[in-house]
Amino acid sequence: MWFDPSSFTQPPSPPAAPYFGSCPAQGPVIGPGYVDTDLSMQKNIPVTETMKFQFRADFFNLFNHVNFNAPSTFIPGGGLINTSQDARQMQFALKFYF
């Protein structure tokens, strides 16, 4: 768990406007770190003086590092991380310039 949910209280019912419970404004919840490496490579292949092909490869999250989302802040079962960011993605492109 990323925080202790017993240190917070739920607002009374019906809440006085505006009432946000006992959580500080900036929030005491600190999530896991974020690591991301993106890479892009391209190769120009000349055909004539005015025409060329360009091959391009883009890699997002190159090393496929798992980046977890922020923890749940709901009081029952709070502090659990159930989701993550996207896995590695690759895209390739071939252009013809004339």
- Quick: pLDDT tens for 37-92: 999 999 999 999 999 999 999 999 999 999 988 777 666 666 678 888 899 999 99
Q: Which domain holds residue 17?
A: 13-98
Q: Quick one: which of 62, 92, 78 has its CA closest to 5?
A: 78
Whether the CB-CB separation of 38 and 60 falls below 8 Å is answered with: yes
State the Cα–Cα distance between residues 57 and 19, nearest whole angstrom. 51
**Does the residue 78 lie in any domain?**
yes
Q: How many domains does the chain have?
A: 1
Residue 98's SS3 state is coil
Instruction: Read off the pTM.
Output: 0.62
- Flag whether 5 is in a domain: no
Is 75:11 a contact under the CB 8 Å cutoff?
no
Residue 7 lies in a domain: no
Q: What's the pLDDT score for residue 76?
A: 63
Q: What is the mean pLDDT of residues 12-25?
A: 57
Residue owning tokens 């419970």: 21
- Confidence (pLDDT) at 12: 62
